[in-house]
Amino acid sequence: RMSMAVCNQKCAEMGAKYFGVQAGHACFCGDTYGRQGLAPKDSLCNTKCAGNNSETCDASDPNSIYSVSLNATM
């Protein structure tokens, strides 16, 4: 089940700079992000993460974008 910690870990293992969560269950990794990225506090970011209801994993189209942390304790 998706959470920010799960996505961060997956992307850290791939060596990516950023991770994005979307639609409560999707995880994307990359070294850049484009027009689909929104700040986590944006009003469109309102879908709860399937793996952690206290986190927001964005809406159905844009992603919530975060910097990958190698020492994350999210």
Look at residues 17, 23, 22, 19 and name the one whose alpha carbon lies nearest to residue 8.
19
User: What's the whole-number mean pLDDT along residues 23-46?
Assistant: 71
pLDDT of residue 23: 80
Largest Cα–Cα separation, the chain? 30
E strands within the chain? 18-22, 26-30, 37-38, 48-49, 52-56, 63-67
What pTM was estimated for this model as a whole?
0.70
Name the token pair of 27.
């995880």
pLDDT band at 52 (very low <50, low <70, confident <90, very high): confident
Average pLDDT value over all residues in the chain: 78
